[in-house]
Amino acid sequence: MPEPYNNLAVLYAAQGHYEKARQALEMSIRTHPSYATAHENLGDVYTKLASQAYDKALQLDSTNAAAQTKLSLLREMISGTNRPTRTAAQPAKAAEPTKLAAAAPKAAAPEAKPATAAPAQVKPVPAPDAKPAAAKAPEKQAGASDEELIKAVRGWAQAWSKKDVDAYLAFYARDFKTPKGEARGAWEKSRRQRVSAPKHIEVELEGIKVGAISGNTATVTFRQHYRSDSIKADSRKTLVMVRVDGKWLIQQERVGN
């Protein structure tokens, strides 16, 4: 039966325990979903909870004009719908269902206005909806960077496969950390020999994954399949990338996990 939960909600509301009243009314509705009185009383409880929330917001920021306006509208609505609290009648008496009191906050003393116009005005839904929409922009930016990074890494592998040494070396940043700490010139000379020497080179990348992007730095991991006329090698590789003048270049190259 929904009436006991409804009556319990009335007692909680009379004591100012609106959260407990809300829970009791929700139990009443679960017991009897078509119990109109519980639905109406739940609306009154939500109104009181909203009023308390706006009051708290103004205590924290007295200059919050939006909260002040919404609180005023709620107080006007509460004043216009104020009614005495009644407990639910026993089934045999066929009395009207219980309705919660909607007393105005202590500090409020506005004129009573019809309750019909107020609900349409108090709608705080649009403001929260606007914030998630704005938060989607960073995701698009991150996605665009992922594509740029993958494109750069594939271009590096293609230049290597074509034995285009100049294009291959152009994918490395000026501050590239050479594997053995040798001078950049010595490293480039060694790479030119290794890329030019084979008659055929094929470099395939599998499972390319872009790691965290932090400012102009990012990491890319993949499995590299290297084939030439004399060597076949598969390895796990990580590239630390840096964005320079709008282009992603290799700053460090690591082999293994």
DSSP one-letter string for 96-160: PPP----PPPTT--PPP--TTTHHHH----HHHHHHHHHHTHHHHHHHHHHHHHHHHHHHHHHHH
Strand positions, DSSP E, 90-200: 172-177
Token digits of residue 67: 């909260």
CA–CA distance, 163 with 134 (Å, rounded to integer): 46
pTM passes above 0.75: no
Of 121, 56, 108, 52, which Cα lies nearest the Cα of 82? 108
Token digits of residue 199: 């008659």
Of 146, 144, 143, which Cα lies nearest the Cα of 208? 146
**pLDDT value for 155:** 97
Number of structural domains found in the chain: 2
The 10 Å Cβ neighbour count of residue 144 is 10
Domain boundary among 84, 99, 132: 132
Token digits of residue 52: 């308390």
Give, in order, the Cα–Cα distances in Å from 61 to each of 68, 115, 249. 10, 28, 49
Token digits of residue 175: 């501050």
Do 127 and 8 reside in the same domain of the chain? yes
CA–CA distance, 234 with 135 (Å, rounded to integer): 41
Low-confidence ranges of the chain (pLDDT < 50): 84-86, 90-95, 101-109, 112, 114-128, 130-142
**What is the Cα 68 distance to its own chain's centre?**
28
Beta bridge partners of 184: none
Q: List the domain range (segments joined by +) for residue 182.
A: 137-255
Say which amino acid occupies 10.
Answer: V
**pLDDT value for 181:** 93
Please check whether residue 220 is in contact with residue 238, taking contact to mean a CB–CB distance below 8 angstroms. yes
Do 93 and 189 reside in the same domain of the chain? no
Give, in order, the Cα–Cα distances in Å from 57 to each of 67, 69, 71, 232. 7, 12, 10, 67
Domain boundary among 97, 132, 167: 132
Do 74 and 190 reside in the same domain of the chain? no
Do 118 and 164 reside in the same domain of the chain? no
Do 142 and 125 reside in the same domain of the chain? no
